[in-house]
Amino acid sequence: MKILLLEDDKNLHASLKAYLELEGFDVSSAYTSDDVYELTYDNTYDLYIFDVNVPGDNGFEVLKSLKKADDKTPTIYTTALSDISSVSSGFEAGADDYIKKPFDPEELVIRIKSKYMKSDVLKYKELDYTPSTRELYKDEKLIILGDVLGHLFHELILNKNKIVPTDILYEFLEHPNPNALRVNLSKLKTKLNLDIKNVRGVGYMLEEL
């Protein structure tokens, strides 16, 4: 997966690029809006990760310009601008996701894998799951989980044998709190015969024993 990273903080840029490359992504670097325009003129990407406050046009204007040129590449904003007006501007510019700084690089990878990566059927015990369509079969019978359990399962199986932070799982709950999360994960374990491990104080992990 080819990613164009726009981030003018060189230390943050270097650490994000290194982390993404360790996860197997092909990352190109841009530090200014002009860098983006130059790189996208001759290259195509699977995903843009854009900061907002960068030299030249800000990240919102950069994406607007690309969209006007019929560029449909999915885009994630990473920015310290967390007010509602800024978030709204990001989505109005055409972004698909918005992560507020500071953030854990692992959260960024989790979002990329869950939302933008095309996957074949994933197998777990007697389950067959297709992430792109979210179709789940157990012993060849279609299983309907509903929104909350479906989102939780999707996040856990895409990160099988990796810890998914509690804050990420909270995003899928109507009323996020530890008890609600435990109850829903318990339902998921019972319904699908899952081995879900609680990593105290950090998150949860779907284990393949």
| Residues 49, 137 within the same domain | no
At 209 the pLDDT is 66
| Residues 88, 108 within the same domain | yes
| Residues 7, 109 within the same domain | yes
| Residues 168, 86 within the same domain | no
Cα–Cα separations (whole angstroms), residue 64 to 30, 78, 83, 94, 192? 17, 16, 20, 7, 43
| Residues 74, 35 within the same domain | yes
Q: What is the average per-residue pLDDT within 82-86? A: 71
At 31 the pLDDT is 97
Of 115, 145, 180, the residue that ends a domain is 115
H or E element: which one contains 100?
Answer: strand 97-100
| Residues 142, 202 within the same domain | yes
At 81 the pLDDT is 76
* Euclidean distance between CA atoms 181 and 187, whole angstroms: 10
Q: What is the average per-residue pLDDT within 54-64? A: 92
Those residues whose C-beta lies under 8 Å from the C-beta of residue 69, and which sit 6 or more positions away, are: none
Tokens linked to 78: 């990473």
Dump pLDDT digits (tens) for 91-107. 787 778 888 888 888 88
Q: What is the average per-residue pLDDT within 105-122? A: 78
Domain count, the chain: 2
| Residues 81, 139 within the same domain | no
Please classify residue 140 by burial: count the beta carbons closer than 10 Å to its beta carbon, then call 0-12 exposed, 13-18 middle and 19+ buried: exposed
| Residues 135, 107 within the same domain | no
What's the CATH code of the domain at 168? 1.10.10.10
Higher pLDDT, 87 or 173: 173
Of 84, 115, 146, the residue that ends a domain is 115
| Residues 38, 88 within the same domain | yes
What's the CATH code of the domain at 58? 3.40.50.2300
Residue 8 clears pLDDT 80, i.e. is over it = yes
How would DSSP label each residue in 11-65?
HHHHHHHHHHHHTT-EEEEESSHHHHHHHHHH---SEEEE-SS-SSS-HHHHHHH
Residue-number span of the structural domain to which 153 is assigned:
122-206
At 203 the pLDDT is 93
- Cis check for the bond before 176: say yes or no (omega within 30 of 0): no
- Averaged pLDDT score across all residues of the chain: 89
At 88 the pLDDT is 78
Q: Which residues of 73-108 are buried (b: 16+ CB within 10 A; e: fewer)?
A: bbbbbbbebeeeebbebbeebbbbbbeeeeeebbeb
| Residues 149, 200 within the same domain | yes
Residue 114 clears pLDDT 80, i.e. is over it = no
Dump pLDDT digits (tens) for 130-179. 887 788 999 888 999 989 999 999 999 988 899 999 999 999 998 999 99
| Residues 89, 7 within the same domain | yes
At 86 the pLDDT is 72
Of 65, 85, 115, the residue that ends a domain is 115
118 — pLDDT class (breaks 50, 70, 90): low
| Residues 193, 111 within the same domain | no
